[in-house]
Amino acid sequence: MEALKETYFQFAGQTAFYRGKVRDVYTIEDNYLVMVVTDRISAFDIVMPRAIPYKGQVLNQIAVEFLDATKDIVKNWKIASPHPMVTIGHKCEPYPIEMIIRGYLTGSAWRAYKSGKRKISGVEIPDGMKEHQKFDKPIITPTTKAETGHDEEISREEIISQGIIPEDEYKLLEAYTYKLFERGTEIAAKHGLILVDTKYEFGKKDGEIYLIDEIHTPDSSRYFYKDSYEENFKKGLPQRQLSKEFLREWLMEKGFQGREGDVLPEFTDEMVENVSNRYIELYETVTGKNFNKISYENIENQIFDTIQKELKKL
């Protein structure tokens, strides 16, 4: 199955290159970023051995859709998306914190709660909650941004007291996080979904705060189907969800959680196709649009040429 796993471009004015878990990021003249969203997929902070066809396109196009739909709340880094797998935007100085916001007790938060933990990133979680239960009000549980390995929980108080982010700026990030989540929740509801939890990343450029990176994608967010949520919750049944959680659950069933000594299970053609189809399903559900698959023929040349043309406009 064709997919784009890595890129090796060299652009005029290129001053840096960074390969993340999923994205290949090219810095242009220390002022702009060219982000190629590849088909790599990660779980438990480990990049999986096989790339997933159309995953990069899905992630990029959902992020572009939501960046455009939230730019009235806070400025964002996007300037243009000249190819379905590419976004070009402003290079910002990122804050070293990810703003994770949770509307429901699920995923890693539930696993921690089930083990007896009652505090996440300094936020108290009341006793007696059930899996997938809605919080009275969404909670923000920030984490550090690790260059390698796992992100670590950090509290609001620690962020401010350690001088990681000034208090006035952190309060702004919190306000933006609540507003973005509210907008994402409203858009999801129109398409029969619940935005369960997500993460936002912010940066600064010329003294202004920008929303950076991806937003409301299946890699950074979790969605439940609205029509079956209440009944499944009352019966204690698993929720129908659109997110990368199904991949994590499959890996856990196979005994893999990214721990030392864990062995990655084989990614068969069938599994790769299944993951690809789940990503496409999420795109169509969350945007309400049909997914138009790109052609992988000469994909590197396609991407390089479209980026070159766009860079000449900057």
CATH code: domain of residue 237: 3.30.470.20
CA–CA dist 179, 186 (Å, integer): 11
CA–CA dist 78, 210 (Å, integer): 10
Residue 102 located in a structural domain:
yes
The better pLDDT of the pair 111, 146 is held by 111
Read off the pLDDT band of 151 (50, 70, 90).
Answer: confident
Residue 155 located in a structural domain:
yes
User: According to the model, what pLDDT value does residue 131 have?
Assistant: 97
User: According to the model, what pLDDT value does residue 231 have?
Assistant: 98
**pLDDT tens, 132-141?**
999 999 999 9
Residue 280 located in a structural domain:
no
Give me the domain span that covers residue 189.
94-243
User: According to the model, what pLDDT value does residue 150 have?
Assistant: 65
Among 27-36, 80-89, 189-198, 247-256, the minimum mean pLDDT is found in 247-256
DSSP H or E segment with residue 162:
none
β-pairing, 32-37 vs 23-28, is: antiparallel
Residue 278 located in a structural domain:
no
The better pLDDT of the pair 219, 93 is held by 93
Whether the per-residue pLDDT at 5 is higher than 70: the answer is: yes
Calculate mean pLDDT across residues 42-48.
89
CA–CA dist 173, 167 (Å, integer): 10
3-state secondary structure of 68: helix
Read off the pLDDT band of 218 (50, 70, 90).
Answer: confident
Whether the per-residue pLDDT at 190 is higher than 80: the answer is: yes
Whether the per-residue pLDDT at 299 is higher than 90: the answer is: yes
Tokens 């070293």 locate to 96
Q: What's the distance, Cα to Cα, between the start and end of the chain in Å?
A: 36
Residue 224 located in a structural domain:
yes
Residue 128 located in a structural domain:
yes
> pTM of the entire structure?
0.91
**pLDDT tens, 62-96?**
999 999 999 999 999 999 999 999 999 999 999 99
Residue 205 located in a structural domain:
yes
User: According to the model, what pLDDT value does residue 149 have?
Assistant: 58
C-alpha distances in Å from residue 33, one per residue of 77, 84, 269: 9, 16, 34
Q: What is the mean pLDDT of the chain?
A: 94
CA–CA dist 252, 292 (Å, integer): 32
Question: How many domains does the chain fold into?
Answer: 1
Residue 290 located in a structural domain:
no
